[in-house]
Structure 1
Amino acid sequence: MVFVSAYFSGSETGMMTLNRYKLRHQAKSGHRAARRVEKLLRRPDRLISLVLIGNNLVNILASSLATIVGMRLYGDAGVAIATGILTFAVLVFAEVLPKTVAALYPDKVAYPSSLLLGPLQIIMMPLVWLLNSITRVLMRMVGIKTDAAISSALSKEELRTIVYESRSLMSNRNQDMLLSVLDLEKVNVDDIMVPRNEIVGIDINDDWKSIARQLSHSPHGRIVLYRNSLDDTVGMLRVREAWRLMTEKKEFNKETLLRAADEIYYIPEGTPLNTQLVKFQRNKKKVGLVVDEYGDIKGLVTIEDILEEIVGDFTTSMSPSLAEEVMPQSDGSVLIEGSANIREINKAFNWTLPEEEARTINGMLLEVLQEIPSANTRVKIGNYDIDILDVQENMVKQVRIKPKKTVKESVGS
């Protein structure tokens, strides 16, 4: 009876400890044992009732038999002796040992157990049904809903935890890419856009030689065409198309250039990256201008910028990489360019610099100070000491940031 009880205890723990997503994958792949177990777990209430019925029956029977044997051998004292011995045997051999083994190796316990549990469930179905019916009635009497659906869907935070715990099964690069996909909705176009002052464009009112020279030396695939000011955009020109027209047409002038330009695609500020990626795909666009609520242009975003958020920087990127903008020092501080992206710095150094109001170090300092600072100024923001080293052209060019030690770190050191 003790060994039978161990079988039921181990089977219950093994079934409930199984990785449901791994089980589902194996079942879809045609694994017979996985299919049997998945079928049993579709109604966990029936499975638990079956296991408990079997476990309690054999335990009660074992107790009765031990009591009879004890009384025949030692009289009234035999009841106490049998109780002590049976309690020890049940705890060790029918509960702790089988459940521990099943928790450590759920696949090896649950799959073979399903061979017997399946037929047993059919044989004992009337008793299982009666027990479940009584249980549901009692639960309803105390106000517990019995028809609540149990969802197996995972939240984004749960998916993130699974990715973190799969470190030994995938490369760090693939792990970072999966985490970046989950973070897309937390990042919007304002965080990755090329700011207005860095947008490369051609003033269509310039003389033709200047326009041709800019086209010939452009490092970008697309260029904004505008009149006098970037606020008066007239189109988005594909440089490759312009080069083709230069070589094929004898007459290549401003009118030809304007006809070759595509219509400007505008993106509202604050659009999450996952939403914008879908919009780029749906509208068959690769680049757009970010505008605020008043229609003023704030920056430029390309589909490559969004993809870089997932897979990392491309070698063809014209913007400086984070490695070129930061320089860690031996004293624990970091020299950082004022144009460096705050979010990338936080990710790289596991910092918590404020990134809600500004996207660059320069913007953050201007937001905090409400004025253009002078060089050799020290600013404290949160847990960071920031020394402003260089200010040029109304912009902070370089700073030194050093995180202050917390109380825990000071005690530990």
Structure 2
Amino acid sequence: MLESTSLTLLFFILFVLLVFSAFFSSSETALMSLNRYRLRHLEQEGHAGAIRASQLLDRPDRLIGLILLGNNFVNIFASAIATIIGVKLYGENGIVIATFTLTLIILLFAEVTPKTLAALHPERVAFPASFILKPLLFILFPLVWFTNGITNRLLALLGVSPEDSSSVSINREELRIALMEAGSLIPKRHKKMLVSILDLEKITVDDVMVPRNEIEGLD
């Protein structure tokens, strides 16, 4: 059927598939790069994109399963389309030409570029993408459930459970780093005071006490 399709339509289908491939690649990077503390804050404020992104990240095994299913499907389909185009244009030699060309195109325009963009601006990519991924997960859930069932059994053999989502609680060192990276958002004096508060637990009585013979007083 595809062999009889016009080249114009084949190129259009290939272009659409590459767009979907870039979408899946960027979505994965963006969602996994989100700051979980900011995400929780936006979710509490009722941000629709943050709520959907948080729901997707509650089960990262399902999210990754969905993205990989979609990405592999469109890439394999794109490979088939590119092969047909190559054969139509260059005969048998077109198979090699199509394979090399498509690999380069996918690497540049459907992997490296969208992933880099998503890593630099995760919220701009992740929140809009969540509006597509959420219903897509619902539609493809049986297939995602089947593949994840096999994957989860393999993870269980390694002692890993996908149910164990990472905690969003922040520890002292993470808070210290966040304060130091705040830059001009927090005045230097306030920043120093907050960092000092974090060090209170390390302070002992000997550090703050004044020997009796050094106390100055009035009779």
SS at match of 1:154: coil
Q: Distance in 1 between matches of 2:187 and 2:160?
A: 44
Q: 5 Å matches for 1:222-241?
A: none
SS at match of 2:110: helix
Q: Distance in 2 between matches of 1:100 and 1:68?
A: 31
Backbone CA RMSD of aligned residues? 1.6
Q: Distance in 2 between matches of 1:20 and 1:2?
A: 30
From 161, 177, 193, the equivalent of 1:146 is 161
Quote the residue 1:176 is aligned against.
192
Is the Cα contact below 8 Å between 2:31 and 2:122 reproduced in 1? Answer: yes
Q: Distance in 2 between matches of 1:81 and 1:73?
A: 10
Q: 5 Å matches for 1:376-391?
A: none
Question: Identity, % of aligned pairs?
Answer: 52
TM-fit CA distance, 1:148: 6.6
Quote the residue 1:117 is aligned against.
133
Is the Cα contact below 8 Å between 2:61 and 2:162 reproduced in 1? Answer: no
From 64, 77, 88, the equivalent of 2:104 is 88
Q: Which amino acid aligns with 1:126?
A: P
Q: Distance in 1 between matches of 2:128 and 2:163?
A: 31
From 158, 162, 185, the equivalent of 2:174 is 158
Q: Which amino acid aligns with 1:37?
A: A
Q: Distance in 2 between matches of 1:148 and 1:189?
A: 43
Higher Cα Rg: structure 1 or 2?
A: 1
Q: Taking structure 1 as the reference length, what is the TM-score of the superposition? A: 0.47
Q: 5 Å matches for 1:8-407?
A: 8-141=24-157, 143-146=158-161, 149=164, 150-200=166-216, 214=219
Q: Deviations over 1:375-395 (max 9, x none)?
A: xxxxxxxxxxxxxxxxxxxxx
Is the Cα contact below 8 Å between 1:5 and 1:59 reproduced in 2? Answer: yes
TM-fit CA distance, 1:65: 1.0
Which is richer in strand?
1
Q: Distance in 2 between matches of 1:152 and 1:24?
A: 8
TM-fit CA distance, 1:92: 0.9
Larger RCO (CA within 8 A; separation ≥ 6): 2
Quote the residue 2:9 is aligned against.
none
Quote the residue 1:404 is aligned against.
none
TM-fit CA distance, 1:200: 4.8
Q: Distance in 2 between matches of 1:109 and 1:14?
A: 6
Q: Distance in 1 between matches of 2:58 and 2:159?
A: 21
Q: Distance in 2 between matches of 1:54 and 1:83?
A: 20
Is the Cα contact below 8 Å between 2:60 and 2:162 reproduced in 1? Answer: no
Q: Distance in 2 between matches of 1:182 and 1:148?
A: 32
Q: Distance in 1 between matches of 2:191 and 2:21?
A: 43
What 5-or-longer segments of structure 2 have no aligned partner? 1-16
How many residues are treated as equivalent by the alignment? 202
Structure 1 runs of 4+ aligned residues shifted over 3 Å read none
TM-fit CA distance, 1:201: 6.1
Quote the residue 1:6 is aligned against.
22
Quote the residue 2:5 is aligned against.
none
TM-fit CA distance, 1:167: 2.2
TM-fit CA distance, 1:11: 0.9
SS at match of 2:167: coil
Which is richer in helix?
2
